[in-house]
Structure 1
Amino acid sequence: MSEDSRRSVVIDRTGPGHFVATNARGGTIRFSTASGDDRGGDFTPVELLLAAIGGCTAADVDAATGRHAEPARFSVSVTGDRISDELGNRMTGLTVTFGVTFPDGEGADRARAILPRAVKVSHDRLCTVSRTVETGTPVTVTVEDA
């Protein structure tokens, strides 16, 4: 694998149940495992997973349709059910729903026409996040100096 293929984030604890993830470019996102009001507006790790799934495919679809027309509305909803069973805690029934409309016009007609295919191609081949979830890529966990 090349250095260009490597992706990484560093996660630092900022308080009990509160964390900040920082990417290689210095961007940050806060998240929390705290409950109720202690969480504030922070995302949970599961919400970050849902956002990553939806965001990845949204970016693919926007790139394909946006070159033809600017959408009047572009919204992606991602839902799933958190369960705990013999396999442990996990999400099931993951669903990504696109709500996209375009104004009238020739470019918009083309964007509307390619929208279903763009969604399918993103899901089937392009979206690294959902492809990784669906293929069941193993995760290795280690402890430094252990």
Structure 2
Amino acid sequence: MPSVRVERTETGFTATNDRGGRIEIGSTRDEGVFSPVELLLAALGGCEMATVEPLTAKRGHRLAKLATVVEAEKVSDTELRSFTVTYEIELPPEDEKALEVFRSVAGRVHERYCPVGKALKNPMPVEQRLP
């Protein structure tokens, strides 16, 4: 079961996974850290790209550039309405099928294979356990 531990630090919060990865978390006013909403956006973009990249490369069409910009429509301080994932790509020279393969793979990943995106599209219960 995936999990992270988030704890308060002197300067904000730190999320740590069981492999030793660390991310500093703060508010949108804090320099050099991600806010919780920005982490959600990064999770969505990272989830799609971490699946799109190996699948396009496996089919012999590794893109010269692959990036995403993920945006959220914020309707209030506590509510997001929608997300948009915009891909920025550069096709490999002389690969006429790369765009077709990329579009096919990215579409399937977005609709079916990214668990972060699926969780956002089909909200699930979030349980809270208090001491």
Whether the TM-score (by the shorter chain) exceeds 0.5 is: yes
**Match of 2:63?**
71
The letter for the 1-side match of 2:81 is: T
| Cα RMSD, aligned residues only | 1.6
- Output the CA distance in 1 between the equivalents of 2:57 and 2:33: 30
Report the secondary structure of 1:109's partner residue: coil
User: Which of 24, 34, 38 pairs up with 1:30?
Assistant: 24
Show structure 1 runs of 4+ deviating over 4 A.
Answer: none
More displaced 10-residue stretch of structure 1: 70-79 or 44-53:
70-79
- Output the CA distance in 2 between the equivalents of 1:66 and 1:92: 33
**Match of 1:104?**
93
Deviation at 1:62, TM superposition (A): 0.6
Correspondence 1:1-146 to 2 at 5 A: 6-15=1-10, 18-33=12-27, 36=29, 39-67=30-58, 68-84=60-76, 89-105=78-94, 108-144=95-131
Percent identical pairs in the alignment equals 32
**Which ranges of structure 1 fall in alignment gaps of 5 or more residues?**
1-5
**Which ranges of structure 2 fall in alignment gaps of 5 or more residues?**
none
Deviation at 1:63, TM superposition (A): 1.2
Aligned residue pairs total: 130
- Output the CA distance in 1 between the equivalents of 2:62 and 2:53: 9
- Output the CA distance in 1 between the equivalents of 2:19 and 2:64: 31
Larger radius of gyration: 1
Deviations 1:84-110 (A, max 9, x none): 3xxx822123100111112213xx333
Is the CA contact 1:66–1:111 (under 8 Å) kept in the aligned structure 2? no
Report the secondary structure of 2:125's partner residue: coil
